[in-house]
C-alpha cells in the first residue's frame, strides 16, 4: 500500500488510544490523527505544560475531540506504575497503545532514579513495564500495540553482560541497543500473545528521519559540528533532502496502529532512501532483531531487572 495516507485510517469512534511522548513530533501527529478519526486519546507524557498545549492544539484542529492528558515519566518506574494504576482503576479496555516516547543519543551517560541507563530506561524499559502493567486492559480491548523502533536498530547489539552500559558508554551504540530492544520486544510480544491467547496485535514501526525535537535536541547538540556552528549552515541545506516532516513520520506509526491488513509481527516504516523518508510500508528488520532466542532472553532479563511480569 505505497499510497497509504491518513485517509485510509478506519473510523476509530468508541476506541481508547494511549500515545506516549505525544506532546510534539510524531507522537503529537499520531494523537492528532487518531482524535480526528474519532478515538478517545490519552496524551501520556512528562511535561504537564506541554501536555496542556498539545490538548489545545488538538482541540483547535478537531473541535469536539475527546482527548486528555495523563502524567507519565517513562524513566521513573514509580510514574509508570502510578499511570497504569489510574487506568486499571477506571477499568476501561484499551484498544491502541503506541509506545512512542524516547530520548536520543545523550552525549554522556545518565542514570535514572531507579539506577538504569537513561536511553534504555526511557525508550525500552519504561514501555516494557507500561505494557505489562496495562495487559489486563489491553487484553480486554484486543489491543493493537505499536513499539517505536528506528533505522538505528541496524547497528544495535544487545549487551547482555552490561545492559546498562556501565562500561564504555557511547551514545550511538546505546541508542541503537534501545531501539533494537524495542523491535525485538514488539516481535516477541506478538509471539507470546499468540502462545498465551492474549488477543493482542503487536506491531513495530519506525518514522524514518522525521524532523522533530528528538533530532534537534539529540545527536547534534554537543557535537563538534554544533560547537563550530556548522549545523546552522548544513542542516537547512541537507536535512530536507534526506528527511520528511513529523506528520509524514507519523504515517508508519498510524498504519501500524490502525490498518486492518497489517498483521501482528509486522514492521512498518518509511520506504524510500534507505527508509529515511517516503510513504509507509514494510520495513527491513536486521537479523539480530529476528533472533527469537535472543528476544526471549532479553524478555526474561527485562522482567528480572524491573520486577514486572506479563500475565
Contact between 307 and 78 (Cβ < 8 Å): no
Report the pLDDT value the prediction gives residue 228, as an integer from 0 to 100: 46
As given in the structure block, the three cell numbers for residue 67 are: 482527548
Element (H, E) at 16: strand 16-20
Pairing type for strands 201-205 and 96-99 reads unpaired
pTM of the model: 0.93
Query: Distance between CA 95 and CA 200 in Å, rounded?
Result: 9
DSSP percent split of the chain into helix, strand, coil, nearest 5? 50, 15, 40
Per-residue pLDDT 10s for the chain (311 aa) are 568 999 999 999 999 999 999 999 999 999 999 999 999 999 999 999 999 999 999 999 999 999 999 999 999 999 999 999 999 999 999 999 999 999 999 999 999 999 999 999 999 999 999 999 999 999 999 999 999 999 999 999 999 999 999 999 999 999 999 999 999 999 999 999 999 999 999 999 999 999 886 654 444 445 444 444 445 555 666 777 778 899 999 999 999 999 999 999 999 999 999 999 999 999 999 999 999 999 999 999 999 999 999 98
Q: Which of 124, 169, 175, 209 is catalytic?
A: 175
Report the pLDDT value the prediction gives residue 44, as an integer from 0 to 100: 98
Give the position of cell 530492544: 181
As given in the structure block, the three cell numbers for residue 115 are: 539506577
Report the pLDDT value the prediction gives residue 243, as an integer from 0 to 100: 83
175 has catalytic annotation: yes
Report the pLDDT value the prediction gives residue 86, as an integer from 0 to 100: 98
As given in the structure block, the three cell numbers for residue 304 are: 528480572
Amino acid at each position: 500500500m505505497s499510497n497509504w495516507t491518513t485517509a485510509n485510517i478506519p473510523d476509530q469512534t468508541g476506541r481508547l488510544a494511549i500515545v506516549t511522548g505525544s506532546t510534539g513530533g510524531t507522537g503529537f501527529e499520531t494523537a492528532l490523527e487518531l482524535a480526528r478519526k474519532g478515538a478517545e486519546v490519552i496524551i501520556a507524557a512528562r511535561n504537564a505544560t506541554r501536555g496542556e498545549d498539545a490538548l489545545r492544539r488538538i482541540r483547535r484542529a478537531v473541535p469536539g475531540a475527546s482527548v486528555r492528558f495523563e502524567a507519565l515519566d517513562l524513566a521513573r518506574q514509580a510514574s509508570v506504575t502510578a499511570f497504569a494504576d489510574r487506568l486499571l482503576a477506571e477499568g476501561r479496555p484499551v484498544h491502541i497503545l503506541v509506545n512512542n516516547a524516547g530520548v536520543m543519543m545523550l552525549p554522556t551517560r545518565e542514570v535514572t532514579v531507579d539506577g538504569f541507563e537513561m536511553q534504555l530506561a526511557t525508550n525500552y524499559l519504561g514501555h516494557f513495564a507500561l505494557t505489562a502493567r496495562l495487559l489486563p486492559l489491553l487484553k480486554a480491548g484486543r489491543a493493537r500495540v505499536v513499539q517505536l523502533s528506528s533505522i538505528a536498530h541496524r547497528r544495535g547489539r544487545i549487551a547482555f553482560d552490561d545492559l546498562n552500559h556501565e562500561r564504555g558508554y557511547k551514545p550511538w551504540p546505546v541508542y541503537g541497543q534501545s531501539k533494537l530492544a524495542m523491535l525485538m520486544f514488539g516481535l516477541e510480544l506478538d509471539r507470546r500473545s499468540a502462545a498465551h491467547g492474549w488477543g493482542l496485535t503487536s506491531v513495530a514501526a519506525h518514522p524514518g528521519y522525521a524532523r522533530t525535537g528528538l533530532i534537534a535536541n539529540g545527536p547534534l547538540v554537543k557535537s563538534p559540528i554544533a560547537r563550530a556552528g556548522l549545523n546552522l549552515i548544513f542542516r537547512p541545506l541537507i536535512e530536507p533532502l534526506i528527511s520528511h516532516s513529523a506528520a509524514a513520520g507519523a504515517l508508519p506509526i498510524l498504519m501500524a496502529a490502525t490498518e486492518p491488513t497489517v498483521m501482528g509481527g509486522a514492521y512498518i516504516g518509511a520506504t524510500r532512501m534507505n527508509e529515511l523518508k517516503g510513504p509507509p510500508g514494510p520495513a527491513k528488520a536486521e537479523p539480530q532483531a529476528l533472533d527469537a532466542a535472543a528476544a526471549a532472553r532479553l524478555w526474561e532479563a527485562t522482567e528480572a531487572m524491573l520486577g514486572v511480569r506479563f500475565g
